[in-house]
Amino acid sequence: MTRKLIYIIEDDQVLAAHFVRTLKNHTTETFTNGIDAIKRIDQQLPDLIILDVIIDGPSAFSLLHELQSYTDTAQIPIIICSSLDLTQYDLTLYGVVRVLDKSTMHPDDLVEAVSYAR
C-alpha cells in the first residue's frame, strides 16, 4: 500500500485526531479551517484531502471552488466526510471522489476510501 500525504480539514479536534489514528499508515496533517489548509497546499500538494463541510472560516464549498481554480490543485482527490447527508449530490465536478456520512460510516470505510482514491 502506498503511503499517501493526506490533509484532514476538520474543526472538531477530537474527530480529527480519530481520523489521524485511523489513517496511521499514511502521513497526515490536520487543519481546522480552509485558510490554513490552502496556505499549506500552496507549499506542498497533498495526495488527498479529507474535508468536513462545516468548518471554521470560509465554508468547505469555498475551498472546493478555490481548489478547482488552479490546474494543479484541481487534480487533488477529495473525500467529503460530513454529518450532513450529501450522498445524493454529484460533487465529482468539485474533485470529490467519495462522500462519507459521519453518522453511518465505519472507520474502515475511511481507510478503504483513501485506498481507492486516486
Partner 1 sequence: MKREVNDDLFDWNSSLITLAHELKSPLVLIRQLTLSLDDASQKDTELIARQLSLTTDRTLRLVTDLTRVSRLEDAMFEMQPLSPRKICEDVIFTITSRHSSNVPTLTTSYTKKPTLIIAHPDLLTSVIHNFCENALHYSGGQKSPSRLFIKPTRQNQIRIGVRDFGPCLPLDIWRDIKSHKILTRPQSISARPQSSGLGLYITSRFVHAMHGRLGCVRHRDGTTIYADFPLSTQLSFQL
Binding site for partner 1 (CB under 8 A): 11-12, 14-15, 17-18, 21-22, 32, 54-57, 83, 102-103, 105-107
Alpha helices per DSSP H over 10-98: 13-22, 34-43, 60-68, 71-74
> CA torsion 29→105→91→33, rounded to 10°?
-30
Nearer to partner 1, 34 or 46 (CB): 34
Nearer to partner 1, 61 or 70 (CB): 61
Shortest Cβ 57–partner 1 spacing (Å): 7
Within 8 A by CB and 6+ apart from 96, the residues are 64, 78, 79, 80
Nearer to partner 1, 21 or 39 (CB): 21
Shortest Cβ 104–partner 1 spacing (Å): 9
